[in-house]
Chain A
Amino acid sequence: MNAADLRSIAQLSGLEVAKEDIDPLVAFLDEYLVELRALRELRLPDDLEPVTGFAPEPWE
């Protein structure tokens, strides 16, 4: 990711990001993306539903 990419995404999403925050945000997101890319590449079963309401129940 670079500053121009981030500005475009922010603009598309209607998000306001201060000019001085752009570079540090790019650096942070780059680091975060290292972790996230692996998750993105993980193949999950098609029938696996997301957790949308979280309420653990006792197990046997």
Chain B
Amino acid sequence: MFTSIEAAARAIRKGEISAAELTAAALDRVAGVDGKIRALAYVDSEGARQAAQRLDEELRRGVDRGPLHGIPVVLKDNIETQGVPTTNGSRVFAGRSSRYDATVWRRLREAGAVLVGKAGMNEVAWGADTPPTGNPWDTERTPGVSSGGSGAAVAAGLCYAALGTDTGGSVRIPGACCGVVGLKPTYGRVSRYGVLPLTWSLDHVGPLARRVKDAAVVLQAIAGSDDRDPTSASNAVPEFQATIDDGVEGLRIGLNEEYFFERLEPEVESTVRRAIEHLETLGARVLPVRIPHVRFGLAAVLAIELASASSAHDTYLRDPDARAKYTDPVRLLLEAGRFVFAADYLKAQRLRRLLIEGARSAFRSVDILVTPTLPLVAWKKGEELVRIQGHEEHVLHACLRYTCPFNLMGLPAVTVPCGFSNGLPIGLQIAGKPFGEATILRVAQAYEASTAWHTRTPITEG
């Protein structure tokens, strides 16, 4: 289960393994390991077995759906999946079964992916904790924020790839915490139809995988315009695999030292700086850039996210029975959104335009931006406050600081593992221009192909 999608797909076509056997291996892994890390909220054993058998039958008839044919995947529990529970990680939605497929799942299913199950998530994708999931590298620690179950499932080898959603960093944060690749595409690149909303203008859907090329394969399958999502972009989707091995020779890397290298754990900083030096040895050039006012991004994200989440859950907050089913911390976050003033919300949206213009200007002299994904490694489960370089802050603020600006700006960003601190993974974040996923994947692939961090696997033998 720790090979690449490419290798698994090749083995299926050579007849070395069937989709049914691969799916059985994934389900065995779930049975052996998931009791420890609890990454999955729902396992669809029977559905997965039947789908895999159908896909084997198709291959025998010469029908080949492409690189994802017969590949086991996991979806975050806020992605509608017909006939399978979609509970948004909350008792409010318990027992709810989807009546239709989200576009991302329909596209993955049509590409031949096999659904192993739904990943555990933060309640309604809000807050800093992902109970009860443990990080496969240390089960006492968090797997990251709301797509933590997706990150843990991938890292522990329960599937080849997973989908998560990213409103302030929730694909990249579990990617970094769990030592896997996590990609947030450009806003509009991937349809959000059938994905339960948290913050309409910040929500993105993206893949988590153990290899950069695996993430690219999944992105290829799910990207592209969708009439059912009003925010979906009609821009052409390039063939990501066509340029992914082109390397970084001559590529200009922007470093925004101010803000993105402030207040972070020393070992995270030194590791990320080594990774950047490594990219230089591969032929990239590092140039200083500055996105003015980026430090106000967190306040803007909080204002927009608090207000939007409160509005998205308004119906349930007004229903006393439903309201009582939220856990206290999440209900408080949702209620707090009612106290965000319209003027503050609009100021946050004005700041957003300023950040977009600042980034646009910065990107005139560089091709990508590189930052640490997080200022810290995976924190202890349930920890509310963290201390970094003598400064105490809420863990939610700490973990969003470096990722959320890219949600505000809608820019694509990917995290790749670039080292470890006390046995816990560290992520390197690579961000690009709008619809520049091919470039950031190229950089991520060049880094991965010349380092070995991605070959480490967590100790999760069942």
Binding site for B on A (CB under 8 A): 6, 9-10, 13, 15, 17, 21, 24-25, 28-29, 31-32, 35-36, 38-40, 42, 44-45, 48-52, 54-59
Q: Which residues of B contact A29 (CB under 8 A)?
A: 336, 339
In the bound complex, CA of A48 to CA of B18 (Å)? 58
Q: Which residues of B contact A55 (CB under 8 A)?
A: 187-188, 231, 233
Q: Which residues of B contact A15 (CB under 8 A)?
A: 338-339
Q: Which residues of A contact B284 (CB under 8 A)?
A: none
CB distance B350 to A48 under 8 Å?
Answer: yes
Q: Which residues of A contact B188 (CB under 8 A)?
A: 55-56
Contact bitstring B331-363, A, C-beta under 8 A = 1, else 0:
111011011000010111111111010001001
CB distance B302 to A59 under 8 Å?
Answer: no
Say if the beta carbon of B433 comes within 8 Å of chain A: yes
B14 to chain A, nearest CB (A): 40
Find A38's partner among B231, B299, B354 (CB 8 Å cutoff).
B299
Q: Which residues of A contact B298 (CB under 8 A)?
A: 35
Query: Could you write out 6 A-B pairs with CB less than 8 Å apart?
Result: A35-B299, A35-B302, A38-B299, A50-B353, A54-B201, A59-B433
In the bound complex, CA of A29 to CA of B188 (Å)? 32
A9 to chain B, nearest CB (A): 6
Find A40's partner among B187, B347, B434 (CB 8 Å cutoff).
B347
Q: Which residue of A lies closest to B235 (CB)?
A: A58
- List 12 additional contacts besides A17-B335, A39-B351, A50-B350; criterion CB under 8 Å: A15-B338, A25-B339, A28-B332, A29-B336, A42-B293, A42-B347, A45-B354, A48-B354, A55-B231, A56-B411, A58-B235, A58-B435
Contact bitstring B312-331, A, C-beta under 8 A = 1, else 0:
00000000000000001001
Find A36's partner among B299, B335, B352, B433 (CB 8 Å cutoff).
B299
Q: Which residue of A lies closest to B349 (CB)?
A: A50
CB distance A25 to B352 under 8 Å?
Answer: no
Best-surrounded residue of B235, B332, B360 (most CB of chain A within 10 A): B332
State which residues 64-113 of B face A: CB under 8 Å. none
Say if the beta carbon of B394 comes within 8 Å of chain A: yes
In the bound complex, CA of A15 to CA of B339 (Å)? 9
Say if the beta carbon of B426 comes within 8 Å of chain A: no
CB distance A59 to B351 under 8 Å?
Answer: no
In the bound complex, CA of A31 to CA of B128 (Å)? 15
Given A6-B339, A50-B353, A56-B233: A32 in contact with B302 (beta carbons within 8 A):
yes
Say if the beta carbon of B403 comes within 8 Å of chain A: no
In the bound complex, CA of A55 to CA of B187 (Å)? 7
Best-surrounded residue of A10, A40, A45, A51 (most CB of chain B within 10 A): A51
CB distance B347 to A44 under 8 Å?
Answer: yes
Given A25-B332, A44-B351, A51-B349: A39 in contact with B186 (beta carbons within 8 A):
no
Q: Which residue of B lies closest to A31 (CB)?
A: B394
Say if the beta carbon of B253 comes within 8 Å of chain A: no
Shortest 4 CB-CB distances between A and B: which pairs?
A50-B349, A39-B299, A35-B299, A56-B434
CB distance A59 to B335 under 8 Å?
Answer: no
Say if the beta carbon of B13 comes within 8 Å of chain A: no
